[in-house]
Amino acid sequence: MSDLGLRLRQNAYLLSVIVLFGLVYLLYHLAHPKGFSSAVLVQNSNEVFSLAMLAMAQTIPVLMGGLDLSVGAVMTLVDCLASHLLVGTTTQIALGVLACLVTGALAGLVNGCVVVYGRIQPIIATLATGAVYIGLALFLRPTPGGKLDEDINWAMTNALDDFAGTVGLFSDGLPAWFRPIAGVPTSLVLLVLVATAIWVPFRRSVTGRAVYAIGSSEQAAYMSGLDIKRAKLTAFTLAGLLAGIGGLFLAIQTSSGNADIPQAGGYTLSSIASVVIGGTSLLGGSGSAIGSIFGTAVLKVISFNFRIFDIAPLLQPMFEGLVLLSAISLGALRMLRVKNQLELFR
Amino acid sequence: MSRPALLSGLSPDDRPTAIAGLFILVILAAGTGYTLSKFGNAPLLQPGYLLQQLQIGAFLGIVAAGMMLVILISQIDLSVPWTVAAGAMTATAVGGPWAIPAGIAVGVCVGVVNGIGVAYLRIPSMIFTLGVNAVMRGLMVAHTGGFAPQTTATDAMRFLAADRTLGVPHAIFMWLAVSVFMVVLLRRTAYGRAIYAIGNKEAAAYLSGVPTRRVTLLAFVICGVCASLAGMLLAGYATKAYQGMGDAYVLPAIAAVVIGGTNILGGRGSYLGTVVGVILIVLLNSVLSIMEMPEAGRQIIYGLVIILMLLVHGREGGA
Amino acid sequence: MEQFLVLAGVSKRYGGVRALDNVDFACNRAEVHAVLGENGAGKSTLIKTIAGVVQPDAGTMTLDGKKLSLRTPQAANDAGIVCIFQELSLLPDLSVADNISIARPPRRFGLIDLRAQRRRAEELLAGIGCEDVNPMMRVRDLPLSRRQMVEIAKALGKDPRLLILDEATSALTGADVERVYAMLARLKASGVAVLYISHRMHEIEALADRLSVFRNGRHIETFGRGERSPDQIVQLMIGREISAQFPPKPPRAEAPPMLEIKGLSWEDRLHGVSLTIGRGEIVGLGGLDGQGQKELLLALFGVLKQVSGEIRIGGRRKTIGSPADAMTAGRQTGGASGGANGGQAGVRSGGGIALVPEDRKTEGLMLPMSIAENLVIASLGALSNGPFMNTGRERVAVADAISRLQIKVGRDSDAVHTLSGGNQQKVVIAKWLMTEPAVILLNDPTRGIDVGTKQEIYRLLRELADQGAAILFYSTDYDELIGSCDRVAILYDGRIVRELEGCALTEQAIIAASLNLTRTEPAHV
């Protein structure tokens, strides 16, 4: 088989998810009165960003064959922290952002330590640490509130030209090269940036490969001389960082902090759904965070369509559930084609 | 490694149960110490108060029983929250003598759907049951219009959940009945053997002629019935069903099962452990509320206790 | 000859068991040194100690005059000690190239250089004659024999000074084995020390310059090639006289057919296989690895879907859709269970098909569960009244099975993973005998099992056949097929190309048929 053919076959699922997303999103824009406009794009991108970060974060433990039930809690914790810190001078805000990211990463590192040194299954360890993080978030924000710096909200949740305007770039008129991309949502650019600056290098690093190896067969990974402890600690830390970025953006987007327990749980569960729709195996070893981003996109775009096609709000939750169920059932149809039933148990 | 002499005689499966039991005593002692110093009384040691706590624990206990079965076959059921609510809402909506059968039927249906998805389509239960939960939520929101249902629990439901005989709430008898059923099922039946076999190595169980799909399906059905039963009892206790009534049950149920020593990856665990895990969580909650601990502190303590218990189990397991 | 690796007074205990007992051992550069012993003799602990997987309780190791203390497999690799384990250390979801460079990938700017990594994989694979393996393939998608070759390429990529092969050829095809021999010869010529563990006597005779025998955790003796006869070596291994390795075959009589297969086809792996096995007959399945033997067994056991063709048991046509169907396939065939295992207390399902699967650890046993629970898992129905287990009958059945197969157990409530490999396989077999099968299918049941247990299994199979069972037996070991089967069917590309029996059943005939030499087209090996 040719290399291209092999590559296509190995990524066939991801490609079909991307195509599905493209089609549904096209439908959305066609039906939207202001379809194909920058404003709609900006709004969609903002709605997708935080969940996409959480889905990327979730991908990493899932690749190792585990599950992180604390991503929503880490997001909430950072959200509440950001609602206190992202005010004041530019330096103060910058330090605040840094503190938020460090907090996310630290929370992830703690997860990693509990899993590695406590030898507790990730799913149950993060169930427990998640409760702790939610508790901390509640200490920070017993009731919803806070007021973030307005400029950062404006800069991050609009199109690139607004970003440029807020930070004072191009004060003497937009340059020609910038004009075609002026309407691109800042959050979309940020999403691409995180994917290329964090995920891609991680995927090609020894630690990243160790993450795939652990999910594929932890024993074989150990026998192959990989440093499993370090890989797990790094992986959970990275997951925490990504969830923290999600929380940071949520705070910026809503301009406030809210230690909302059901919302944290909902985000965690949606992140798992996104990861699965994105083609990462819950058994570990195969998949990618890029797939999870598209998984999030598919999930979100479907609910965008509900708004457009004016489905009674009361029926929306049910349709969302049905769509999720049918999406994963469609993915499972290949199981029915398996002719050697032993392969079902791998 | 040195162990407390008390524990060394126990089999590895019973040790987590004993440890969790000891921890319950610690919680009771700490709570009583607090109330004695602060209020000069010891409500935690009064039978009446303890029975009331057990009554509250019964709802969680019944949910956890079904959850344990599913965890033993290395699956999980995240559709529990809205199965609880749907069982309760259906029962109160149907009313009359058919209220309870209707609620049970809801549990069976959810279980069958979950079972088909997990056992036959082989979709990971983590995600499939999540989807089923979303659909159930959608159905209930559509059914009630998003408000608390106006219908109330039937007399039978109230009798089973809230009434007392000789001072003992009937809900505790219901939990006891479910528990006897579970113990017999897991220890004495061929089905129980098949459960543990599947949890350990599904391929080997399949190649040994165990009907793995049917066993898995049935486990989800039992879990669904437990959830809807708990929902109906909860509605009986509160006199009506309400939105989100099951939300507070899924994670504590999983925690109770795991604190009781059941391996989250399946194949190992004793039912008694789950019961002890439920009691631990319920008492912990009640001590924290006596202490008027704010929600933030409760969450943190709750998480730390789970980690602590698992760390102790891990040491004892000699892993 | 200079001594390269030296172990002095090395001991290792697992609980109460002395896996290695004050072992002195040495091996030299530029030599292939075979280590022999039954399962439980301490070979695998020896290897794991040298490879840094386990740490000894006492004793010292020196390599090239320098003292070694190995805490991890990685530390052993760094010292130039590379081990090819019996349990594959490959990562199924990663590509071949990823696997070969897993621990030390080539890097550029701190990131893995995929192109260099691929080139390296191609070179290493070409070095052992596996140009046909695409380095971008996922290991999961390769057949077992190719995976084993990838494992070898991976080991060679670490530039070993001491290479350890633990049953590394057990899954290989004949042609690949030759390539491995050639590779070992090259390594030897370049001064590498090789430790070679195998249960295949003829391989050891062909390869080893020096042999060491282990028994009960002790190093018994080391000697040069040709200094001991095979019989003497086997005697050293088991420490007692042995009778003939294979039980005598009874004279062939016309037996009524028990299992009839007609035109069985499945996907592109089986093409119209027809075979008849009579009562009391042991039929072997031979041929190169991956010619459809495993699929044939799985098809008969109901694991494969959409199998076309006809299966008859005791003359009745059966449709088998699952292992549960297969187990009960022979019911109501009257006398099908004919006395097989007649004395067993109260267990009466009987007359179905049994399969001893390829991999006992993942398909045969629930390792963390107890011996008793594993033994009864296929007989739950027969051992219960309605839904409830009959614990009395269960205890009797377990005790019977343990004594019948002489399984060496402490308590039957111990986890089955505490047993040695040979005893684990006995548990798998005993589990199936409890169902009183009329047809017994075995997929390479003696792979990685010690000589003593092998002989017990051969004897047992003959006994079962004499009691009326029909046995179909796939093996990669030609000696075993010749010694224990009444008839051997050779598969090639999903078809039976030859059936050999009597005097025609020779190693040469099997090899010739396996390569399908009568045909004009070349065998794609």
The pLDDT, as a whole number, for residue B318 is: 37
Nearest Cβ partner of B264 from A121, A259, A344? Answer: A121
**By C-alpha distance, which of A24, A1, A74, A92 is closest to A295?**
A24
Kindly state whether residues C318 and C202 are assigned to the same domain.
no
The pLDDT, as a whole number, for residue C455 is: 87
The pLDDT, as a whole number, for residue C72 is: 84
The pLDDT, as a whole number, for residue B315 is: 54
Decide if C366 and B209 are in contact by the 8 Å CB cutoff: no
pLDDT digits (tens, 9 = 90+) for C136-153: 999 888 887 788 889 889
Give the best residue of C366, C371, C411, C443 to mutate against chain B (max B CB count within 10 A).
C366
Shortest CA gap B307–chain A (Å): 6
The pLDDT, as a whole number, for residue A183 is: 87
Residues 6+ apart with CB under 8 A from A334: none
User: Which positions 87-126 of C are in contact with B (Cβ < 8 Å)?
Assistant: none
Residue percentage of chain B with pLDDT more than 90 = 51
Domain ranges of chain B: 5-316
Query: How do C388-389 and C384-385 pair as beta strands?
Result: antiparallel
Decide if A340 and C137 are in contact by the 8 Å CB cutoff: no
Give the best residue of C347, C359, C377, C425 to mutate against chain B (max B CB count within 10 A).
C377
Cβ–Cβ contact A335 with B under 8 A? yes
Domain ranges of chain A: 49-172+181-330
Provide the sign of the torsion angle of the four alpha carbons B260, B263, B266, B268, taken in this order.
negative
What is the chain B residue with the closest CA to C327? Answer: B209
The pLDDT, as a whole number, for residue A117 is: 93
- Tokens 């910038």 belong to A178
Nearest Cβ partner of A138 from B141, B247, B296? Answer: B296
Shortest CA gap C377–chain B (Å): 7
C129 has pLDDT over 90 = no
Kindly state whether residues C142 and C179 are assigned to the same domain.
yes
Cβ–Cβ contact B203 with C under 8 A? yes
Residues 6+ apart with CB under 8 A from A337: none
Q: Which domain holds residue C383?
A: 257-514
pLDDT band of C344, cuts 50, 70, 90:
very low
- Rounded to the nearest angstrom, the gap between the alpha carbon of residue B190 and the centroid of all alpha carbons in its chain is 23
The pLDDT, as a whole number, for residue B148 is: 76
3-state secondary structure of C261: strand
More confident residue, A268 or C420: A268
Q: Within 10 A of A98 (CB to CB), how many other CB atoms are there? A: 11
Dig out the tokens for B236 from the structure: 């009986």
Find the helix packing angle between A38-63 and A228-254, rounded to 10°.
160
Kindly state whether residues C205 and C308 are assigned to the same domain.
no
A neighbours by CB contacts (3+ pairs under 8 Å): B, C
- Tokens 């705070």 belong to A251
CB C156 within 8 A of CB C127: yes
Low-confidence ranges of chain A (pLDDT < 50): none
Lowest mean pLDDT among B291-295, C166-170, C309-313: C166-170
Decide if C91 and A216 are in contact by the 8 Å CB cutoff: yes
Write the CA distances from B125 to A191, A277, B70, C366, C440, integer angstroms.
30, 14, 10, 22, 35
pLDDT band of B316, cuts 50, 70, 90:
very low
Give how many domains chain C has, as a whole number: 2
pLDDT digits (tens, 9 = 90+) for B53-85: 999 999 999 999 999 999 999 999 999 999 999
Give contacts of C116 with chain A, Cβ < 8 Å: none
The pLDDT, as a whole number, for residue A68 is: 93
Kindly state whether residues C263 and C159 are assigned to the same domain.
no
Give contacts of C322 with chain A, Cβ < 8 Å: 341
Cβ–Cβ contact C383 with B under 8 A? yes
In a domain, C390, yes or no: yes
pLDDT digits (tens, 9 = 90+) for A21-40: 999 999 999 988 888 888 99
**By C-alpha distance, which of B49, B26, B288 is closest to B41?**
B49
The rounded distance, in Å, linking the Cα atoms of C516 and B106 is 61
- Tokens 């058994």 belong to A283
More confident residue, C231 or C67: C67
What is the H or E stretch that residue C298 is in? helix C293-300
Give the best residue of C298, C358, C380 to mutate against chain B (max B CB count within 10 A).
C380
Cβ–Cβ contact A88 with B under 8 A? no
C520 has pLDDT over 70 = no
Decide if C77 and A225 are in contact by the 8 Å CB cutoff: yes
pLDDT band of C87, cuts 50, 70, 90:
low
Shortest CA gap B173–chain C (Å): 24
pLDDT band of B161, cuts 50, 70, 90:
confident
The rounded distance, in Å, linking the Cα atoms of C366 and B198 is 9
Decide if A6 and C92 are in contact by the 8 Å CB cutoff: no
Kindly state whether residues C223 and C288 are assigned to the same domain.
no
Give contacts of B319 with chain C, Cβ < 8 Å: none
Residues 6+ apart with CB under 8 A from C492: C287, C288, C291, C513, C514, C516, C523
Q: Within 10 A of C13 (CB to CB), how many other CB atoms are there? A: 15
The pLDDT, as a whole number, for residue B8 is: 55
Give contacts of A225 with chain C, Cβ < 8 Å: 72-74, 77, 102-103
**DSSP code, position A64:** T
**Burial tier of C71 (Cβ tally within 10 Å: 0-12, 13-18, 19+):** exposed
The rounded distance, in Å, linking the Cα atoms of C429 and B140 is 53
CB B244 within 8 A of CB B262: no
The rounded distance, in Å, linking the Cα atoms of C436 and C353 is 9
Give contacts of A315 with chain B, Cβ < 8 Å: 138, 142
Kindly state whether residues C269 and C180 are assigned to the same domain.
no
More confident residue, C170 or A155: A155
pLDDT digits (tens, 9 = 90+) for C237-273: 766 555 557 888 888 777 889 999 999 999 888 999 9
Q: Within 10 A of B256 (CB to CB), how many other CB atoms are there? A: 31
Residues 6+ apart with CB under 8 A from A29: A35, A36, A40
Number of helices (H), then strands (E), belonging to chain A: the values are 16, 0
pLDDT band of C15, cuts 50, 70, 90:
low
What is the H or E stretch that residue C190 is in? none
Residues 6+ apart with CB under 8 A from C64: C4, C5, C161
Cβ–Cβ contact B173 with C under 8 A? no
Q: Within 10 A of C262 (CB to CB), how many other CB atoms are there? A: 14
Cβ–Cβ contact A276 with B under 8 A? yes
The rounded distance, in Å, linking the Cα atoms of B19 and C79 is 45
C519 has pLDDT over 60 = no
User: Tell me, what CATH number does C284's domain have?
Assistant: 3.40.50.300
The pLDDT, as a whole number, for residue B179 is: 97
C336 has pLDDT over 50 = no
pLDDT digits (tens, 9 = 90+) for B264-303: 888 889 999 999 999 999 999 889 888 888 889 988 988 9
Dig out the tokens for B47 from the structure: 């039978």
Query: How do C487-492 and C282-286 pair as beta strands?
Result: parallel
The rounded distance, in Å, linking the Cα atoms of C448 and C422 is 8
Residue where a domain terminates, one of C178, C209, C238: C238
Average pLDDT, chain B: 88
CB B20 within 8 A of CB B277: yes
What is the chain B residue with the closest CA to A139? Answer: B296
The pLDDT, as a whole number, for residue C348 is: 41
Name the pTM for this structure.
0.82
Decide if B210 and C369 are in contact by the 8 Å CB cutoff: no
Shortest CA gap B252–chain A (Å): 10
- Tokens 């069972």 belong to C469
DSSP secondary structure string for all residues of C476-523: S-HHHHHHH-SEEEEEETTEEEEEEEGGG--HHHHHHHHTTTTSSSPP
The pLDDT, as a whole number, for residue C339 is: 39
The rounded distance, in Å, linking the Cα atoms of C43 and B135 is 57
Kindly state whether residues C166 and C291 are assigned to the same domain.
no
Decide if B203 and C362 are in contact by the 8 Å CB cutoff: yes
The rounded distance, in Å, linking the Cα atoms of B156 and B163 is 10
Q: Which CATH class is domain B5-316?
A: mainly alpha
ipTM value:
0.85
The rounded distance, in Å, linking the Cα atoms of C285 and C444 is 10
More confident residue, C197 or C330: C197
CB–CB contacts below 8 A, B to C:
75
Please give the order of strands across the beta sheet that includes C439-443.
C353-356, C439-443, C470-474, C282-286, C487-492, C495-501
What is the chain C residue with the closest CA to A339? Answer: C305
Residue percentage of chain C with pLDDT more than 90 = 34
Kindly state whether residues C220 and C300 are assigned to the same domain.
no
Cβ–Cβ contact B193 with C under 8 A? yes
The rounded distance, in Å, linking the Cα atoms of B24 and B13 is 18
Give contacts of C435 with chain B, Cβ < 8 Å: 209
HSE toward the beta carbon, residue B166, CA cutoff 13 A:
2
Considering just the CA atoms, what is the radius of gyration of chain B in Å? 20
The pLDDT, as a whole number, for residue B80 is: 95
The backbone region for A85, taken as left when phi is positive above 0, alpha when psi lies in -120 to 50, beta otherwise, is alpha
HSE toward the beta carbon, residue C136, CA cutoff 13 A:
13
Give contacts of C88 with chain A, Cβ < 8 Å: 220
Provide the sign of the torsion angle of the four alpha carbons A7, A8, A9, A15, taken in this order.
positive
In a domain, C525, yes or no: no
Give contacts of C14 with chain B, Cβ < 8 Å: none
CB A73 within 8 A of CB A104: no
Cβ–Cβ contact A269 with B under 8 A? yes
Cβ–Cβ contact C376 with B under 8 A? yes
